[in-house]
Amino acid sequence: MHQYEHRSFSNNLLIFLGMNKIDNLPGIIPVFPLSNFIFFPKTSAPLNIFEPRYLQMIDQSIKSNRMIGMIQPKGLVNPKKTELFKVGCLGKISSFNETDDGRYVIVLNGITRFNIIDEVNNGKPFREFKISYKGFENDLNNEEVNINFSDLNLIFNDLKNIFEKQGYVINWNELEKQSLDQTLNTLSMASPFSKEEKQMLLEAKDLVFRKKKLEQIIKLYSSDNFSNKTLQ
């Protein structure tokens, strides 16, 4: 299995993103299915990996392009053929450490979202897929969006209430130091929503649409007394 936490995207990796074009990214990638976890471009996630199949996956990635895909399984995790959602996020390993007990502790930095096209029969314990980046070309851009931090006040206040009700803890002061897109995406990643709701946020076409969907989910949770009904 694995553990994770959320961190902001490191500035030095922005240079990496600016130098990359969709055409230069891999067309076949290994994927790491992680339930109830979404990962965005320009965000960062430390991962603690100790399952043998994923240790092997990281070994392969380190020896090649250092890239893996993060994606949610639709159902219970099955080592063989768990059905996956079609949209995930490509990440690049920016930090790698091996612990004394054989675990890998890595930091993965988000590059761009992708669509699964087809699975590759690789004969390995981990899965690889042919993917497409069509529709996500803007993930590599650094353009400003038409949202102000003042527009996030309602989201912040309501999410704080939801987090407290469900026993989640987040460093709000640190979160507010991030850029606007990092803040909104980190809130989407960290929020205690269902995997379907998180997937909806991941698949939102842009930051403005993601903000709208996040507000809709928050409204549902608030009106439903936090009983966790999924937004359809």
Instruction: Give the DSSP per-residue string, 136-153.
Output: -GGGG-----S--GGGGH
Label residues 87-114 b or e (16+ Cβ within 10 Å = b): bbbbbbbbeeeeeeeebbebbbbbbbbb
Instruction: Read off the pLDDT of residues 69-90 as tens digits, 9 standing for 90 and up.
Output: 999 999 765 556 789 999 999 9
Neighbours of 55 (CB within 10 A): 16
Domain boundaries defined on the chain: 2-139, 149-222
Instruction: Read off the pLDDT of residues 173-186 as tens digits, 9 standing for 90 and up.
Output: 666 666 777 778 88
Question: Which stretch of 1-10, 79-88, 108-117 has the lowest confidence by average pLDDT?
Answer: 1-10
Predicted local distance difference test score (pLDDT) of residue 6: 42
CATH number belonging to the domain at 2-139, selected among 1.10.460.10, 2.30.130.40, 3.30.420.40, 3.40.50.300: 2.30.130.40
pTM: 0.80
How far is the C-alpha of 65 from the C-alpha of 47, rounded, in Å? Answer: 18
Question: Which stretch of 34-38, 84-88, 168-172 has the lowest confidence by average pLDDT?
Answer: 168-172
- Side chain identity at 71, as an amino acid letter? I
Average pLDDT over residues 162-166: 70
